[in-house]
Chain A
């Protein structure tokens, strides 16, 4: 029996075997909540009878709890909120480091771009102005960390960061690869970048992303690809280190991150630059 037939037959048998298991009753939320509603109703009656008089007599003696899920949220609380079932994976060295210093900190010594020399200033309505002059997050540049930027990548990052922070759409378009993916719908490409108006929020998102930590991952041909944010490099949501997860709160609310987590891995805003310095995607994801 050749391989194709063997695999097809094995799949057929597996499917037939699975067909014999009938789908169990999947208890929906309303079904699960019904007994709890009855319990809550009973509890409410008890509280109405005994609790209210007690509460009235003790009114004003305590401080109201902070009810906002966002206000004052500590990172540990946030992590619990985002992924209650997650077992925290071991921290990867460097991933949790706070972005610090200037771009010069993370640029390969060989590169000709050592510092960012602002050449433009943000235009009117530019929401990314707060990122000007730009800095980019990085890792110690002793050559031991694969996430250290190589010359062409460092150069491209610097240029993109400056164009984004200055809300300069034409500069961004010129920096992009000809077949850059900017959206999975129609209209993807450098022309899309060139069409952004100065008040487009994507400038700020792009600048913010480049201020976050990156990771190095692999292209299908085995070459290296630098991605921002670091969370995008992980196969599953559970693998994302806490620090990389916390960083995402610069782009999303905890509720939005909960939605993204349903995909099983990070699929939100991201940038990818190849090891040769080709900027190949900047997309919103879903």
Chain B
């Protein structure tokens, strides 16, 4: 179940009508795709923990954007739209795969296999801990730190108010402060 925000940022029809009037073309999609691809892969990697699947998710999200580019290009923030699609797809994927995914990640996380094989152990540890957080907290942390989005932008992406985003981020930090400091102490 979603936590509902009254100030949900889904645009109303008026905004869509304005958006629909803006011009869009294929070359703008190419530029958008090149510019956003790596960032999308990074977000998906942080959420899923598997580079191969992350790339698949990113590509699926871009295909979705391409299919409706005439409309999406007119939005104020196409990058938020495509991230929302990505996050929803990542959520679905994790639910769908369930324990199967956990098993895959576990196997791949064995030394030498590498889920995202070029990350240093401290960095991998951070994202492993982030993925243990409640879903909304994970998404908030990833969008804030990996995509560098503001509270308002995260709210627009996740369809909740900036206040709720702040609350999720605060709780996530509190939790990570415990788990990551434990990790640091263990390593030193």
Contacts and interface: CB of A to CB of B under 8 A. Distances in A.
Interface stretch (A11-19, A61-69, A103-111, A123-131): A11-19
B40 to A, nearest CB: 8
Interface string A234-276: 1111110000000000000000000000111101000010000
A72 interface: no
B48 interface: no
B6 A15 contact: no
Interface string A167-194: 0000000000001010111000000000
Contacts of B181: 3
A3 B15 contact: no
B12 A237 contact: no
Nearest to B55: A21
A71 to B, nearest CB: 26
Interface residues of A, number: 54
B4 A217 contact: yes
B45 A14 contact: yes
A141 B60 CA distance: 44
A6 B14 contact: no
Contact of A265 (B2, B9, B42, B177): B2
A147 B46 CA distance: 36
Q: Is the interface of B mostly helix, strand, loop or mixed?
A: helix
A175 B65 CA distance: 40
B84 interface: yes
Nearest to B11: A286
A219 interface: yes
Nearest to A268: B10
Given A220-B167, A267-B159, A14 B1 contact: no
Interface string A17-32: 1111101101011000
B136 to A, nearest CB: 9
B176 A3 contact: yes
B104 interface: no
B52 to A, nearest CB: 10
A272 B88 CA distance: 23
A185 B145 contact: no
B82 to A, nearest CB: 11
B57 interface: no
Interface in A198-246: 215, 217-220, 225, 227, 232-239
B116 A17 contact: yes
A248 B15 CA distance: 22
B12 A18 contact: no
Contact of A286 (B16, B34, B96): B16
Contacts of A77: none
B14 A185 contact: yes
Given A3-B181, A236-B92, 12 more contacts: A1-B184, A6-B122, A24-B59, A217-B2, A219-B3, A220-B5, A225-B4, A234-B2, A235-B1, A235-B88, A239-B95, A264-B88
Interface of A: 1, 3, 6-11, 13-15, 17-21, 23-24, 26, 28-29, 87, 179, 181, 183-185, 215, 217-220, 225, 227, 232-239, 262-265, 267, 272, 280-281, 283-286
5 contacts: A15-B39, A18-B41, A21-B38, A23-B37, A217-B4
